[in-house]
Amino acid sequence: MPSQITHLRADGKAEFYESLRGGQTTYHGPGQLTAFLILNLKTHGFTSRSYVEFLENSVIATLALYGITGTRTENPGVWTPNGKKITSVGVHLQRYITGYGIGLNVHTDLGWFDRIVMCGLPGKRATNFEAEEVRGKSVEEVARAFAGVVAEGLKDCDEVVRIVNEDEVLGNG
């Protein structure tokens, strides 16, 4: 395992963290919309499976706004028709409260995915907006679109709060 972690860290260019998120190895980094919803499944009438489907369908609807076709398959996440993964999905539940969420590749450096067996699926490749011929979109723009789709899907939701960075979470920013 130590040599594998060294490989993942890419000679100090990245960090490696283990988490309680569902799924296997994934990558989160610049150019990726990382959206972690925190909500009570009971409040919104979700089961764990229907919540994952909600996340996947919210991503698919967001992609459609940009002319990208996204699909659900037997494998977790959202895929393009060419069989490449554009979004990883991983959740953690504790007492019906969700943690973690999605990693949607907007203009992510896809080279990082060559360093891992993405989500435990050998031979699968990642894609992003740019590889799907949608250029010039910022993570912030796509985040606003995704938040709108999610808010629309949460009918009992009074408020969607957007947190951009750790300082906002901690009240330092």
- For the annotated catalytic residues, the residue numbers are 119
Q: Which residues pair with 88 in a beta bridge?
A: 103
Residues in the chain: 173
What is the distance between the alpha carbons of residues 80 and 94, in angstroms, rounded to a whole number?
31
> What is the DSSP track for 25-88?
-----TTEEEEE---BHHHHT--HHHHHHHHHHHHHHHHHHTT---B--SSSSEE-TTS-EEEE
Work out the burial of residue 156: count CB atoms within 10 Å of its CB; fewer than 13 is exposed, 13-18 middle, 19 or more buried.
exposed
Q: Distances from the Cα of 142 to the Cαs of 33, 113, 137, in angstroms?
A: 7, 21, 7
- Tokens matching residue 102: 């999605």
